[in-house]
Structure formats: C-alpha cells, structure tokens
Chains A and B, each alone.
Chain A
Amino acid sequence: AQSVSQHNHHVILSEAASLELGCNYSYGGTVNLFWYVQYPGQHLQLLLKYFSGDPLVKGIKGFEAEFIKSKFSFNLRKPSVQWSDTAEYFCAVVGSGNTGKLIFGQGTTLQVKP
C-alpha cells in the first residue's frame, strides 16, 4: 500500500539552528514528491516539489529537499531556521501520472524558539 512516513512528530529548535525533517515513502512506480507547510491559522501551502531531474530541489524561504531514490526518502532541510518557520510540515507523494491521489504523511510540528 502507498504510504508516507515522517520521522519526527514534534521538533523544537532555537533560532539559527539547522533543520532536517525526515520523510520516507512507499510507492510502486515513478513519483512526484512534495513538502507542504501550514503556518498557524493559515491554509496548506506548497513549500517545494520534485518531479524529475536534479534530486536537490530548492523551495521558498530557504528550504531545500533531497530526493534519494534508493532510500525512498525526501528529507527537508534548512541551514538556519527563524521564529517565523514555526509551522506544521507535511511530506506528500503522488504517482507521476496526473490522476493519482496525493498521499500525506502525518506531519511534523516545528516550534522555533526566539
């Protein structure tokens, strides 16, 4: 069955610390991968996506993610977090055809202390 697993449920960091959120997926076939972010009181927004090509993708606000096909992973990173990065982060996967359903992980709550 298709699934997405996020390693950390709740992460607490101080400002300027580095961030890495783990994501592993189970899916038979070629995939498109996403990280969505949900800031407090706001709707889900796309942070970055991987469709093909360079496995290191850059998104908004200094975030990046690396697709490692052999490990079925798509970890999210940021070298130096800010208080404004406090949010919930969701990893998601869909088959590369356009009719597949987007499957989400359970989410990671990031709290950045000023």
Chain B
Amino acid sequence: EAGVAQSPRYKIIEKRQSVAFWCNPISGHATLYWYQQILGQGPKLLIQFQNNGVVDDSQLPKDRFSAERLKGVDSTLKIQPAKLEDSAVYLCASKDSGANVLTFGAGSRLTVL
C-alpha cells in the first residue's frame, strides 16, 4: 500500500511570510495527525483529525497555525505569519480506526530565516 505522502519536502522562507504543507494519508485511514519536530526534540502533536473533524488541537498555536481536512482525506497545515521558532520538520501521520499504530510520512522541513 502507498504510504503517507507529504509535500513539499523542504521549504525556506523569511519570517513573517506564510507557508502551507500538504498531506495525503494512507487510503482509508480516518485519523490524521500533524506533528512538529524541532531539532533535538521528539515530535509534538499539533492537531488530530477524525475524518474531517478536529479531535485535539490543544497544542496548535492558533494565532498563526491553521489546519483543515475538508473532505476527510488530505489535509493542509498553514503557518501565517511564520516566526524563527517555527523552523522544524512537520510530520503527518495517519492510522486506521481499528488500530492504534501511526504511520508517518517523510515530513516537510521548514527553515525560517
């Protein structure tokens, strides 16, 4: 089966600019996650979707970050405006409703200058 697809793989922007990341989960996976992984740290959950509804966005900085999964399949994560501390890898993961194992994409590496 195809894995979790993410794009772009790399993005360099200046602070105060905006950026968007895209994720296409494994076909049929109802649950989708966005994680932020800062260099030297473990991934931190930003937002969790169940189909097209938000389950948990308690750690999403909502003044600058937004995410949507309108049709319950692919998802976009947007940052506007970006800050230097947003430099990180943004990981998308998905899982089947009947399982408790996440499958991760390759990630999108963001550098904010």
Residue from A98, A101, A104 in contact with B42 in the complex, judged by beta carbons closer than 8 Å: A104
Tally of contact residues, A, Cβ under 8 A:
25
Tally of contact residues, B, Cβ under 8 A:
25
Chain B min CB distance to A66 (Å): 19
Q: Which of A38-70 contact B (CB under 8 A)?
A: 42-46, 49, 51
| B3: nearest chain-A partner, CB-CB | A43
Q: Which of B57-98 contact A (CB under 8 A)?
A: 91, 93, 97-98
Q: In the assembled complex, which residues on chain A have CB atoms less than 8 Å from the CB atom of B101?
A: 34, 46, 49
Q: In the assembled complex, which residues on chain A have CB atoms less than 8 Å from the CB atom of B104?
A: 36, 43-45
Residue from A34, A92, A101 in contact with B48 in the complex, judged by beta carbons closer than 8 Å: A101
Q: In the assembled complex, which residues on chain B have CB atoms less than 8 Å from the CB atom of A106?
A: 40-42
Is A76 among interface residues, defined by CB-CB distance under 8 A?
Answer: no
Q: In the assembled complex, which residues on chain B have CB atoms less than 8 Å from the CB atom of A42?
A: 106
Is A84 among interface residues, defined by CB-CB distance under 8 A?
Answer: no
Residue from B42, B48, B50, B93 in contact with A90 in the complex, judged by beta carbons closer than 8 Å: B42
Task: Decide: A101 near B45, CB < 8 A? Known: A43-B106, A43-B107, A44-B91.
Answer: yes
Q: Which of A73-114 contact B (CB under 8 A)?
A: 90, 92, 94, 96, 98-99, 101-107
Which residues on B are within 8 Å of A, measured CB to CB? 31, 33, 40-45, 48, 50, 55-56, 91, 93, 97-107
Besides A43-B107, A103-B45, A106-B40, 7 other CB < 8 A contacts? A4-B42, A36-B104, A42-B106, A45-B104, A96-B100, A98-B98, A102-B93
